Amino acid sequence: MHAFHSVNITIHISFGLLALGLGLAALRAPKKRGSHTKWGRYFLYAISVVVGTGLVGALLFRASPFLVMLTLLAGYVSYAGWRNVRLREQRSSGFDVALAGIAFASGLLFLGIAKASEAHWNPSVLYSTFGALSLVTTYDAVKYFWLHERLKSGWIYEHIYKMTSAFSALVSAFAGNVLPQFQPYSQLGPSLLGVVMMLWFMRQTFRQQRSLG
């Protein structure tokens, strides 16, 4: 099991670094079909491996509460952001909303486990990450059951929010591990930077749409 754990960690870290590079390439590319789509697709492939190996580590080995919660967040928003592009203004499926419920319930369950355990965890980091997961899963459920017609035209802003959130979750995990002496700021800082990036990209998209309309 020790050898398997080492291999799993190596794959997790390698694809995490790859996903960071691919995510940055997607963010820098013009937001239209072409290079942005290509790099974004590769980013999703890489982050799928990161999430998969992260969940394996959480289930079979001891894992940091912070990293498990980030894995749940990154996994869900990556999938949901991809679905936004696939569906655009169409209503999401029952599977989509079920997955949102599973992600929320898993986060809530793990939060309870972390609080009951003796593992070291920083409340500000864990609660803020769970808050971000709760926000996006609740929004997707509300949109599916009640407000689809009113919110469907904002799919591009949902895509921006979710994919930028996935990227900032990776940066937060990277910074938290590389700069443990600066925790929790090395973990919270990338999240705040992610919010700034989301707002900037949304503003740029809004201006482009207004100029075309």
Q: What pLDDT, on a 0 to 100 scale, did the predictor assign at position 26?
A: 93
Question: What pLDDT score does 134 carry?
Answer: 96
Task: Give the span between the Cα atoms of 91 and 8, in whole angstroms.
Answer: 37
| Alpha carbon distance, N-terminus to C-terminus of the chain | 59
pLDDT at 162: 97
Residue 25 structure tokens: 């390439």
Cis amide leading into 184 (omega within 30): yes
Return d(Cα 47, Cα 49) in angstroms, integer. Answer: 5
Do the beta carbons of residue 36 and residue 9 sit within 8 Å? no
Structural domain boundaries in the chain = 2-212
Alpha carbon distance 176, 179 (integer Å): 5
Q: Which two tokens stand for residue 173?
A: 């995990």
* Closest to 136 (Cα-Cα) out of 194, 187, 184, 190: 194
pLDDT along the chain (213 residues), means of 10: 86 94 92 86 95 86 77 94 96 96 92 74 84 96 96 96 95 86 86 93 91 75
pLDDT for 24 equals 94
Distance of CA 55 to the CA centre of its chain: 14
Q: What is the DSSP track for 77-112?
A: HHHHHHHHHHHTTSPPPHHHHHHHHHHHHHHHHHHH
Residue whose pair of structure tokens reads 């029952």 in the numeric block: 94
In this prediction, residue 20 carries a pLDDT of 95
pLDDT at residue 46, as a whole number: 96
Cα–Cα distance for residue pair 124/188, rounded to 1 Å: 8
pLDDT of residue 77: 97
- CA proximity to 51, closest of 27, 76, 26: 76
pLDDT at 69: 86
